[in-house]
A = this chain, B = another copy of it.
């Protein structure tokens, strides 16, 4: 049963004003194409969940899509601040932004609880941190096997998770390699899942290596084919992280005005990712293309 659709339709149908949305991926496979489509469709009052909001949430906050962030690290990795997020938090531009803040482990634990249908998840982090003072959702339970308390976090169940993958079949069964981050937990925790793939492959490719299948089609609502959909983040084996774009963002985003101009040019002014890819130009893709490094094969055996 094919779930293949366009990014425009997937976002229009599955992301609603007021939703909580998780576009996950730790450095790797961050679906900028979906974030841009959400901006284009002017979705509003979203609660954006991600360990590292990265550039994509900086852009969505600047575009006025978000009312809240649930996160653990607010930075432009390796470069510096997320200026749009800071403007919203420090100055209320373009609108105030509520923050709900954890550590990486706290966020991962929230997704695990959400994926596993547990009322809470125990972690040994947080002790001694002022996070306990500012986040009343971090609580404690008593250890029934000894003395002492254990910190717990509640489940995080986003309305929508958007998971970028290297390849998927039309039902949404997906292979990921390289960093997997919390993609699996975010997908199982979410009420609706959009899989965005660099390549749509025949199910025979998925079935040739079932241990590589990290997202099962049975939790997927829509499948979108969007090559280069993760730029300026990356897809292992397909293209490199565009460090220059991450550095350039620091300048672009320092002023609300220049940032809006960038959104006009690169988001509102384009119909979708295909135009973005064209506009970026082939020399950028040449620069980002890695050489080959093949995994080798394993033998599953045919048992008759």
Contacts and interface: CB of A to CB of B under 8 A. Distances in A.
Given A144-B139, A145-B154, A295 B299 contact: yes
B298 A292 contact: no
Contacts of A303: 240, 290
A211 B177 CA distance: 6
Contact of A299 (B124, B150, B152, B292): B292
A218 interface: no
Interface stretch (A112-120, A223-231, A250-258, A261-269): A112-120
Contacts of A118: 122, 124, 150
A294 B297 contact: yes
Nearest to A294: B297
A143 B119 contact: yes
A236 B301 contact: yes
Interface string A284-304: 000000111111111111111
A121 B292 CA distance: 43
Contact of A117 (B124, B152, B290, B293): B124
Contacts of A293: 208, 299-302
A236 B118 CA distance: 33
Nearest to A209: B295
Interface residues of A, number: 48
A211 B291 contact: no
A271 interface: no
A52 interface: no
Given A175-B298, A298-B175, A301-B238, A141 B139 contact: no
A147 to B, nearest CB: 10
A237 interface: yes
Nearest to A142: B141
A144 B140 contact: yes
A304 B290 CA distance: 8
Nearest to A295: B209
Given A178-B300, A208-B293, 9 more contacts: A117-B124, A120-B145, A177-B209, A209-B296, A236-B300, A237-B300, A238-B301, A240-B303, A290-B304
